[in-house]
Amino acid sequence: MKCPACRVTMYVAEHEHIELDLCAKCEGVWFDADELELILGTGEACALEGAEVQEDDLRCPRCRKTMQKANIGPERGVVIDVCPDGCGLWFERGEVPALCRDLEASGWRLEPAVRSFLGDMFNE
């Protein structure tokens, strides 16, 4: 699969049979539909809310439709790209750790294995 930001081929990292697509060039990460909830064990805490942000539009690496901006997390402080057809979520560099910090600041506790996996992957 090609990175939606820089169009290079992404590589796959696996955690408990969940495969995330990562870009070595821009350090973004693609979560297929429901993978974020499977990894973080969150539901409502990661609900999406539309965002009005002035950034370049990216295309979904699965269906090629223009993705929409959305705020995510309990404080809605992280803006990500979301496929309108539900293919998945695109996090640019630093947005996954920002979401994890937002979740933990709101009282959410990440499992140690998840924290280790994400920390190793994102140097957090």
The pLDDT tens digits for 80-89 are 999 999 999 9
Residue 50 banded pLDDT, cuts 50, 70, 90: confident
Taking the C-alpha atoms of residue 91 and residue 81, their distance in angstroms, rounded to an integer, is: 7
Taking the C-alpha atoms of residue 32 and residue 17, their distance in angstroms, rounded to an integer, is: 13
User: What are φ and ψ of residue 85, in 5° steps?
Assistant: -95, 5
Residue 48 banded pLDDT, cuts 50, 70, 90: confident
- The answer, yes or no, to whether residue 45 has pLDDT greater than 70, is no
Residues 71 and 48 sit within 8 Å (Cβ to Cβ): yes
- The answer, yes or no, to whether residue 123 has pLDDT greater than 90, is no
Residue 42 banded pLDDT, cuts 50, 70, 90: low
